[in-house]
Amino acid sequence: MSEMRLGLRENLPQFALLVVLNAFVGAMVGLERTVLPLLGEQEFGLSSKTAITSFIVSFGVTKAVINLIAARVSDRIGRKPILVVGWLFALPVPFLIIGAPAWWWIDLANVLLGANQAMAWSMTVIMKVDLVGPKRRGLALGLNEFAGYFAVGVMSWVTGYIAAHSALRPQPFYLGIVIAVVGFAVSILFVRETRPYAHLEAATAPQTTSGVRPSLGHVFYVTSLGNVSLFAACQAGLVNNLNDGMSWGLYPLFFASYGLGVGSIGVIKAVYPIVWGVLQVATGPLSDHVGRKELIAGGMIVQAGGICAARTRHGDGLSHAAGSNYGLCAPDVARDQPRRLPLLARPRLRHWRSALRRRRGLRWARGGDPFGRGAHVRLWASGRQGDEKAEPHASRGPRVKIEHHVRRTP
């Protein structure tokens, strides 16, 4: 057996496999992005937007709860078992949607999908952190998020295209069966356990903290009230993911109300996550040169402009105009997300990795709350995938002093 070594190049085959696997994880979410809201309105006859988007709440709350425990359990039993169980949860999802006689079946399917995303996406992230060690984490995690969100976009377009040439179901969801089976098989047969790599890094890293695991309550306090920088990062992620939930649940219905077909809606829905995914690779290195705070603040402004532009465009060119305008909503998280993860992955913060993933789960739960009477919808605060926006990030100006709070953990 070859000696374990940390690094992207040293573990390239396994790292590349995890990137591809995360694309399959993202594809499971993309399976629903275009078709499911239309299915609720047109086939199940639901007139309430709150009822239609209940599947997003089911997804988000489940992912929140499982995020509270999955990462920490993986520290005890390993990453691969959690990854495999996550794919087990995905296997029934397309069958439930295909055969659903009532909408609560769709909600149940999204409970299982939320469990799949919490376990599978989280483990692909943590396993990459284990493999690459302390160097090039920004690039490594940018590639992870690129694969996941690019797959979301591609699958949104593909399912819209299939539905436009057949029906809203079952044909678009046959792909989900293939994706779930392949993801499950790859996880069992080809993915290696990476927890020993984390132990190797811990053994070689200097001990700069007490090494005591922070409690969930302490992490909640630090990230919500105790540190202004962490609070700002969390609220920015929350706002972004509320908008993402709006795009998932309401935009297909909004564009359909203007007479767009499901194929055109699929094109629009694909633009946003594809732009998001592609920019993940570029914005990490960019933030090293220009700073993080400016990109986050600028991205929020761009997001607001993109949503407003998509909302106000009308006429025959609505499909392409709305798609391009809504694509502007992607850059804010893409600018920042690859830079939050590497900080959390630093060796001296290794005891905070699981705890901060649990804090992310709490932010997901907030996203299940009602979002205004005018919207008539419960919005989902995601965390991608994949996507790890509750973790602290470095920025120009005062640095986040997590080490200080770790030392004070009782």
The whole-number pLDDT of residue 95 equals 97
The whole-number pLDDT of residue 373 equals 27
Instruction: Give the CA distances from residue 296 to residues 111, 291, 299, in Å, rounded to whole numbers and listed in that order.
Output: 31, 9, 5
Rounded to 5 degrees, what are φ and ψ at 269? -65, -25
pTM: 0.77
Is 263 contained in some domain?
A: yes
Is 203 contained in some domain?
A: no
Interval 94-111: pLDDT, tens? 999 999 999 999 999 999
The whole-number pLDDT of residue 230 equals 75
At residue 207, does pLDDT exceed 50? yes
- Predicted confidence band of residue 88 (pLDDT cuts 50, 70, 90): very high
- Predicted confidence band of residue 251 (pLDDT cuts 50, 70, 90): confident
Interval 121-140: pLDDT, tens? 989 988 998 898 777 776 77
- Predicted confidence band of residue 185 (pLDDT cuts 50, 70, 90): very high
- Predicted confidence band of residue 141 (pLDDT cuts 50, 70, 90): confident
The whole-number pLDDT of residue 31 equals 93
Using CA atoms, how far apart are residues 88 and 187, in angstroms rounded to an integer? 10
CATH number of the domain at 389, please.
Answer: 1.20.1250.20
Is 380 contained in some domain?
A: yes
The whole-number pLDDT of residue 21 equals 96
Is 204 contained in some domain?
A: no
Domain count, the chain: 1
The whole-number pLDDT of residue 332 equals 41
Is the model more confident about 77 or about 244? 77
Is the model more confident about 407 or about 64? 64
Is 202 contained in some domain?
A: no
Is 205 contained in some domain?
A: no
Name 394's Cβ contacts closer than 8 Å, sequence gap at least 6. Answer: 292, 339, 343, 400
Is 200 contained in some domain?
A: no
Is 3 contained in some domain?
A: no
Instruction: Give the CA distances from residue 332 to residues 212, 361, 389, in Å, rounded to whole numbers and listed in that order.
Output: 34, 21, 11
Range of 386's domain? Answer: 12-195+210-407
Interval 294-322: pLDDT, tens? 777 887 888 777 777 766 654 444 444 44
The whole-number pLDDT of residue 206 equals 63
For residue 131, give both structure tokens. 């493999």
Q: What is the SS3 assignment for the chain?
A: CCCCCCCCCCCHHHHHHHHHHHHHHHHHHHHHHCHHHHHHHHCCCCCCHHHHCHHHHHHHHHHHHHHCCHHHHHHHHCHHHHHHHHHHHHCCHHHHHHHCCCHHHHHHHHHHHHHHHHHHHHHHHHHHHHHHCCCCHHHHHHHHHHHHHHHHHHHHHHHHHHHHHCCCCCHHHHHHHHHHHHHHHHHHHCCCCCHHHHHHHHHHCCCCCCCCCCCHHHHHHHHHHHCHHHHHHHHHHHHHHHHHHHHHHCHHHHHHHCCCCHHHHHHHHHHHHHHHHHHHHHHHHHHHHHCCHHHHHHHHHHHHHHHHHHHHCCCCCHHHHHHHHHHHHCHHHHHHHHHHHHHHCCHHHHHHHHHHHHHHHHHHHHCCCECCCCCCCECCCCCCCCCCCCCCCCCCCCCCCHHHHHHCCC
The whole-number pLDDT of residue 370 equals 32
The whole-number pLDDT of residue 133 equals 79
Report the pLDDT averaged over residues 277-302.
Answer: 75
Interval 4-35: pLDDT, tens? 888 888 899 999 999 999 999 999 999 998 99
The rounded mean pLDDT for the chain is 74
Using CA atoms, how far apart are residues 143 and 367, in angstroms rounded to an integer? 26
Report the pLDDT averaged over residues 386-393.
Answer: 36
Report the pLDDT averaged over residues 84-94.
Answer: 97
The whole-number pLDDT of residue 280 equals 75
